[in-house]
A and B are shown apart, each in its own frame.
Chain A
Amino acid sequence: DSGVTQTPKHLITATGQRVTLRCSPRSGDLSVYWYQQSLDQGLQFLIQYYNGEERAKGNILERFSAQQFPDLHSELNLSSLELGDSALYFCASSVTEWGGGYTFGSGTRLTVV
């Protein structure tokens, strides 16, 4: 157990739907990062939050949004889902606002049918 908790582990939904992925960071970590991992795109950074504020944005679609709450957990919202959104979505956390040494969760596997 890495200390980063992601729920749900698996999600199957239909095109056009909206889902919410949840991440609880490791105790004491203030930064949360969201990544998408697919076979054709590899590991793609989506967005980072630090202590409730957005810090960096990567290749995140406009249909996707995220936030970090006062208790530091984070949610990634995916809407108007398309088949191509099927992927593994990872959350990672770190103590500092930047840099490596992340701790990753075990991911949410999203399948859009």
Chain B
Amino acid sequence: GNSVTQMEGPVTLSEEAFLTINCTYTATGYPSLFWYVQYPGEGLQLLLKATKADDKGSNKGFEATYRKETTSFHLEKGSVQVSDSAVYFCALSMNAGNNRKLIWGLGTSLAVNP
């Protein structure tokens, strides 16, 4: 079946460090891929998305490129801030068929220290 695998956390970085959170997926077909972020005490928010191979999603300095050849959608940011401390979820949704609900990774907690 379809699944999403994220790197385990927690990830701890110093401010201005480079961030990579790995996400790989398994899907029969051509999914859309998403990154959601959950700040402490809040609900999840859509951070960025990509709907087809080679698309790059970007928002708030974060980027992720849909790589069909490696079935990956790694999240990157060049210089993290303390305010980026949150839990990040990778997810996929199939673009066709009867079961299009989001499939979630387990989440990766990021802590950024000043």
Contacts and interface: CB of A to CB of B under 8 A. Distances in A.
Interface stretch (A13-21, A60-68, A70-78, A93-101): A93-101
A92 B101 CA distance: 12
B107 A102 contact: no
How many A residues are at the interface, by size bracket?
20 to 34
Contacts of B41: 106
Given A99-B93, A104-B45, A105-B43, A56 B104 contact: no
Given A33-B101, A56-B101, A99-B100, A42 B46 contact: no
B44 interface: yes
A8 interface: no
A100 B46 contact: yes
Chain A interface main SS type: loop
Which one of B36, B45, B102, B107 has the highest number of Cβ atoms from chain A below 10 Å of its Cβ?
Answer: B102
Interface residues of B, number: 21
Nearest to B104: A43
B49 to A, nearest CB: 6
B102 A100 contact: yes
A99 B103 CA distance: 10
25 contacts: A4-B43, A42-B104, A42-B106, A43-B106, A45-B101, A45-B104, A56-B99, A56-B101, A97-B100, A98-B93, A98-B100, A98-B101, A99-B32, A99-B95, A100-B34, A100-B93, A101-B34, A101-B46, A101-B49, A102-B44, A102-B102, A104-B36, A106-B41, A106-B42, A107-B43
Interface of A: 2, 4, 33, 42-43, 45, 48, 56, 58, 90, 92, 97-107
Given A2-B45, A100-B32, A107-B42, 6 more contacts: A45-B102, A56-B101, A98-B93, A100-B93, A100-B102, A101-B34
